[in-house]
Structure 1
Amino acid sequence: MEIDRPEILAEVAGLFAAYETALVTNDVAVLDGLFWQHAKVVRYGATEILHGYAEIAAFRASRPSAGLARTLERTVITTFGQDFATASTTFTRNGRTGRQQQSWVRLPEGWRIVAAHVSFLERFGA
């Protein structure tokens, strides 16, 4: 299996960038389109546990659209062969540090996120 084949890495990096733009501009149509439309897709968010595309889409539709800007740091995208990739990043939003991971799979309809996790780091002793 070839890891980080340049053209596959470029595809996923472009999709990750499109996801980030859609996230901070609250472009729900793009966000929904990048997730696998299936009952087995999972998104564990900072305040929610979502199983299935319907739950993720409902969350996106009701999410506040203000205060979404963030700064990414330490983004790592790794591809495995032609059809699977992970994207991991840390971010800062409103003085808080968070982390995000996505599993991407190339399906017949194109690359889609099949699992995602977003959480904030809690500061101990503060």
Structure 2
Amino acid sequence: MIDNAQINLTDVVAEVRAAFDRYEDALVHNKVEVLDELFWNSPHTLRYGATENLYGYEEIADFRAGRPLQGLMRELLRVEITTYGRDFATANCEFRREGSTRTGRQSQTWMRTAPGWRVVAAHVSLLG
């Protein structure tokens, strides 16, 4: 059981924020190898996108490999990271793609693994 004293430990929040920022940089610059690295390599990993449902690391990696290279830049409007103990966290953000007026939302669940922090579940959606 996690008590309130284990929520948002400063050093853990900094670690997750660094992983989140690395992911964001890889996302907008299409660094596919980094995106692949930061997802947990497991059949249990999932990603719900704006137009696709991906189950397992292989489906996510295949999607990334075929993704269009245009329109990747975005502005982060708000980022909320919450850590629970030393090995589990959520990162949620609101964003706006360059040239768009629509707001998007991204939720990620992060887990500490032997090689480092990895996304185990993600969801991306756009507001109407």
TM bucket normalised to smaller? over 0.9
C-alpha displacement at 1:26, in angstroms? 0.4
Match of 1:10 among 14, 32, 38: 14
Query: What's the secondary structure of 1:33's corresponding residue?
Result: helix
Structure 2 unaligned segments of length 5 or more: list them: none
Q: Deviations over 1:2-56 (max 9, x none)?
A: 0010100000000100100000000000000000000010000011100000000
Which residue is equivalent to 2:108? 102
Q: Matches of residues 49-88 of structure 1 in structure 2 within 5 Å?
A: 49-88=53-92
2:119 paired residue number: 113
2:114 & 2:22 partners in 1: Cα distance? 20
Question: Match of 1:37, SS?
Answer: coil
Any idea what SS the aligned residue of 1:65 has? coil
1:30 to 23, 31, 34: 34
Offset of residue 110 of structure 1? 1.4
Match of 2:47 in 1: 43
TM-align CA RMSD:
0.7
Pairwise CA distance, 1:66? 1.0
* TM-score, reference length from structure 2: 0.93
Could you tell me how far 1:109 is from its partner in structure 2?
Answer: 2.0
1:98 aligned counterpart, secondary structure: strand
- Any gaps of 5 or more consecutive residues in structure 1? none
> Post-superposition shift, 1:95?
1.8
Distance 1:9 1:48 in 2: 30
Q: Equivalent pairs: percent with the same residue?
A: 57
Amino acid at match of 2:25: T
